[in-house]
Structures are given as structure tokens and as C-alpha cells.
Amino acid sequence: MKTFPMYKFLLVSMLSALLVSFAPFTKDQARAASPVEAQAKRDVYLLNITVLNISDIDLNAGTYTVDMFISFICKDAPCKNEPTWDVMNATEEIDPVDQGTSVPFTSYDYRLRTTLIGKVDYQFYPFDYLYIEMFIEDKKLGGDEITYELTSLSVDEMLFNPSGWYYKPEQSGSDVTPISYSMDPIKYDRIDIWMFLERDRFGAFMKTIFAALVIVLVGMLSFLLRIDDAKERLALTSSTLVAIVLYHISLVAGVPATGYLTFVDKFMVATYVVIFLSLMVSVLLMVYVNNEQTVRAEKLHLRTRWTIPALWILLMAYVFVFELTIPYSRLLLIGGGGN
């Protein structure tokens, strides 16, 4: 049996290696062997957030304290860069606590408790809503190097209990916006993450609107009095007007000065109209009675004892439907964070 000479074997091997080295790359091989293109691809970190609780909600200052777990997971691990993230709307420097499960360039787990400041809309006060917002942005790397995406936002069912507020997860979400600064040509990707809370409607009604309704109903008792009791009727309507004004002042004392009318302002304006008309009727009745114009007094009494209470009911229906229910429903339909 003939053996293949060793020098021929070495010669064939060298020729094969040269042919392979000069052979053209396929598209997949070129893509895998291009370090410049691989480095040009930015890192994407996915955010998983679990909110433990929200406390110290201060509507006057527009601040709230959030306690949460937050994880940064590299989408295409391992990433080239580590996230040097910051919460832009924190009232103080954040101090996240590493949970000891972080894997460099792959995933990072933190617990963070900090006070945030946000935009508070008093349009529907006392039936408030609140967007709990958190703006996360990298402190060093621009949007061409790193970006963040929200993949999960949940609450701890056992610990989450913002007193007096209800969480509506269907209104929560996130949005990424490129941000630039005047002294820095780099654009940074800022992710806006929001949670939607709304006030307990029944509690807000009983603590604010209900008392005003009782005051007005007491004032409406003047229409049950006879025309001979004109002085008592005038005293009752006058005291009702004073009481409702003082109550309005106490309500708005807990709200910062705004350049627009809140729902409670519109409710009170409708109440003022009815109470003022009742006061005018009482004054006219007393004038007619003092001038012994009994017939005119009776006609005025019969015409107003039902029309003014009916007007009050219509005004209340208009305010609650067109100034609260419809605009609030439109707000929930549009959504989109606190913007």
C-alpha cells in the first residue's frame, strides 16, 4: 500500500490555507467581523419596576415619596456600558441600594426610596387625579450609546396603599424623549414613567361637596315660610349666604392659588347664583309686606318657591355633567402622562 509523502501533505495544507484566507466573506461573516458596526450599536436596558408604596403625597408642594424596586436588564447581553442613571425630578440626590444580585453589563437590581416632584392639576378639585411621574436619564452617556425602555410596571399588592387614592394601572405608561442641554451637544434619552392615581370619589364628596349641599338645602327652607314671615326668611337666606362664603374660603385654603377655576369654584359659583336670587326674593317679599302689597307678595312667592329650587337642581346637574364627568372621561381617554 502506497503512503502519501509528508512533504506533499504539507504543501496541500498550505495551499488550502491560502485559498481560504483570500476567499471573499459572506454577508454574515462580514457583519460578525465588523467591530466598528458592533460598537456603533447602542445599549438598550429594559426597566422592570415594582412600586412598594407611595406616601407623603403633598398636593400643595406637588411632591410624593416613592419606595420601589427597579431592575435594569440588558436587552442584548452583555452590554458595552453600565447604566449611570439618575432620576431627574428627585428633590434630592438619589441613593439607590444595590440588592446584591447585579451582574455587570447584564442586569442591575436596586431598591430606591426618594421624594419626587411632579405637576399637579387642580382642575377637578376635590375629585383630584395625580400622575406619579419619574424621569430617568443617564448622567454620562448620550442616546446614541444607551437608552432605557419600560417593560414592566407593577405594585406590591400587600404593601401598596396610598391613603385616599386608587391606582389605575390601565392609565399608566412610559415615553422616551431626546433631551439636549445648551452647553452640551450630546442628546440624552430621557424616559418618562408615570402611574395614574385618582381620589376616592365618595370620600371627597362627603368631605367637601356634601356640607355645601346641606347649607344650601337649609337656605331653601325659606321657600316653605309664609309671606308674613318675611323677616325670618330674609335672616335665613342672609345667614346661608354668609355660611357658604365662609365654607368656600375654607375649601380653597388647602389649594394653591391657580389661574383657572377648579371644579369646587364652579360648583360654588352656581350655588352663589341660587342663594343670591333667594336673597333678592326675600328682600322683595319684605318690601311688599311692609307696603301692604299682599297680592304682589303672594304672586312672587308662588312663582319662586318652585322655580328657584328647580334652577338650583339644573345648575348642579350642568356642573357635575359638563364640568366634571365629561372632561374627566375625556382626560382618561387621552391619557399620556401629566403632559
CATH number for the domain spanning 227: value is 1.20.58.390
Omega within 30 of 0 (cis) for the link into 78: yes
Omega within 30 of 0 (cis) for the link into 178: no
Tell me: the pLDDT tens digits for 184-193? 889 999 999 9
- The torsion angles phi and psi of 260, rounded to 5 degrees, stand at -140, 165
CA separation (Å) from 6 to 2, 16, 18, 54, 271? 12, 16, 19, 79, 110
Round to whole Å and give the CA distance between 23 and 169.
57
Q: 190 and 46 share a domain?
A: yes
The ranges of the chain with pLDDT < 70 are 1-40, 335-339
- Let me know if residue 126 belongs to a domain: yes
For residue 319, give its domain range. 202-334
Lookup result for grid cell 424616559: 191
In the chain, the number of structural domains is 2
Q: β-strand 43-58 against 146-155: which pairing, if any?
A: parallel
- Let me know if residue 283 belongs to a domain: yes
Report the CATH number that the domain containing residue 93 is assigned in CATH: 2.70.170.10
End of a domain among 167, 182, 198? 198
Q: What pTM does this model have?
A: 0.77
- Let me know if residue 16 belongs to a domain: no
Round to whole Å and give the CA distance between 57 and 65.
7
Q: 208 and 330 share a domain?
A: yes
- Let me know if residue 15 belongs to a domain: no
End of a domain among 168, 198, 228? 198
Q: 241 and 180 share a domain?
A: no
Mean of pLDDT over the chain: 87
Tell me: the pLDDT tens digits for 17-46? 444 444 443 444 433 434 334 334 899 999
Residue 10: predicted pLDDT: 47
Residue 6: predicted pLDDT: 52
End of a domain among 198, 225, 257? 198
Element (H, E) at 180: strand 173-181
